[in-house]
């Protein structure tokens, strides 16, 4: 059974098979003309459906206006314990900020065929323990030597 047939409970009908079983077979230009008519019907129905959806959405939509210093809530699926006060983070003009490592939580050596690579689990400022990341020890020693004292 084809996936389309399993999902929709009927066979997939290609543009060649849009007519019902038992209808006279169309050949050449008649087949193209018949297919174009079917495409026009489909386009009209899609336009109607889009119009209904738009009118339904427009009735319920309202314009929101905000002033400077207004407080807004964003609907985000997030753990409330992760929320950090914005005053604690220094944001640059490019709307980015630098993560600062706070501590090394764990060490691990990964063995490849010909060498071993040392990794450290780094706890970053403004992050929870669950968001700690594994970084190469070599890079961390170069950038943040104070963590290894």
Instruction: Give CA 121 to chain center in angstroms.
Output: 27
Q: What are the distances in angstroms from CA 37 to CA 29, 44, 90?
A: 12, 11, 61
pLDDT tens digits in sequence order for the chain, 149 residues long: 667 776 677 777 766 555 555 555 656 787 788 888 888 888 889 999 999 999 988 888 888 888 888 888 877 676 666 666 666 667 777 777 778 898 999 999 999 999 999 999 999 887 778 788 999 999 999 999 988 88
Q: Considering the entire predicted model, what is its pTM?
A: 0.41
Can you give the C-alpha Rg of the chain in angstroms? Answer: 31
Q: Compute φ and ψ for 13, nearest 5 degrees.
A: -105, 115
Beta carbons of 125 and 99 less than 8 angstroms apart: yes
CA 100 – CA 125 distance, rounded (Å):
5
């Amino acid at each position: 059974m084809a996936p389309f047939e399993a999902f929709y409970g009927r066979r997939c009908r290609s543009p060649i098979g849009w007519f019902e079983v038992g209808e006279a077979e169309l050949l050449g230009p008649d087949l193209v003309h018949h297919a174009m008519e079917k495409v026009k019907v489909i386009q009209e129905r899609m336009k109607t459906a889009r119009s209904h959806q738009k009118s339904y959405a427009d009735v319920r939509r309202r314009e929101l206006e905000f002033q400077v210093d207004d407080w807004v809530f964003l609907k985000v699926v997030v753990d409330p314990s992760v929320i950090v006060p914005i005053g604690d983070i220094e944001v640059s003009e490019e709307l980015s900020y630098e993560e600062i490592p706070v501590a090394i939580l764990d060490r691990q050596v990964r063995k490849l065929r010909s060498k071993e690579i040392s990794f450290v689990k780094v706890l970053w400022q403004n992050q929870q323990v669950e968001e700690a990341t594994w970084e190469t020890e070599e890079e961390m020693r170069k950038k943040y030597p104070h963590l290894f004292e």
